Amino acid sequence: MELTELIGPDSVICNLRVSSKKQALQELAKRAAQLTGRPERAIFEVLTERERLGTTGVGNGIAIPHGKLPDLDRLYALFARLEQPIDFDSIDEQPVDLICVLLAPETAGADHLKALARVSRILRDRGTCEKMRGADSSDGLFAILSQPEGSEAA
């Protein structure tokens, strides 16, 4: 599964200005509602409920909030690079500046897990993350995210 199956240029945000985990999730839920046609409140609740189970701040400045929603027609991803890192209760206690939200239909099953694995692989690559942190536009971020797996962005 390539990330471009889940994410488009309209679902990449460069320099998102937020000051807390809650505000980040609210802002990303608002953007995700525009992409999915699902209510912003429902998306926010799914993401915060998942955070109550345990943080999605996976370390190295990265968070991957995710959840399942009824009536979604497919998997959706939304990527944001924050203007300033924020506390996200990460497992390594480091602030987060790269966030990838993943939303799946309730019936997604294995596809949801495959998408999470794909996003994790991309964001585990320190070189890729450094390129994303250095990108100066949403288009630049999208270009990095849409590299086929195993290739290096220029």
Query: Which DSSP state fits 20?
Result: S
Burial class (CB in 10 A: 0-12, 13-18, 19+), 154: exposed
Residue 93: left (phi > 0), alpha (psi -120 to 50), or beta? left
Secondary structure of 69-129 in HEC code, one letter for each residue: ECCCCCCEEEEEEEEEEECCCCCCCCCEEEEEEEEEECCCCHHHHHHHHHHHHHHHCHHHH
pLDDT tens digit sequence for 98-108: 999 999 999 88
Per-residue pLDDT at 149? 63
How far is the C-alpha of 110 from the C-alpha of 61, rounded, in Å? 26
Weakest mean pLDDT among 10-14, 28-32, 122-126 = 122-126
List, by residue number, the catalytic residues.
Answer: 66
Structure tokens at 95: 């602030």
Per-residue pLDDT at 154? 38
pLDDT tens digit sequence for 44-84: 999 999 999 999 999 999 999 999 998 898 999 999 999 99
| Domains of the chain with bracketed CATH | 3-145 (3.40.930.10)
Per-residue pLDDT at 135? 93
pLDDT tens digit sequence for 99-154: 999 999 998 878 888 888 888 888 999 999 999 999 999 999 999 988 876 544 43
Per-residue pLDDT at 3? 76
Per-residue pLDDT at 152? 46
Burial 94-130 (b: 16+ CB within 10 A, else e): eebbbbbbbbbbeebeebbeebbebbeebbeeeebbe
**pTM for this prediction:** 0.92
Of residues 111, 79, 103, the one with CA closest to residue 9: 79
Per-residue pLDDT at 115? 87
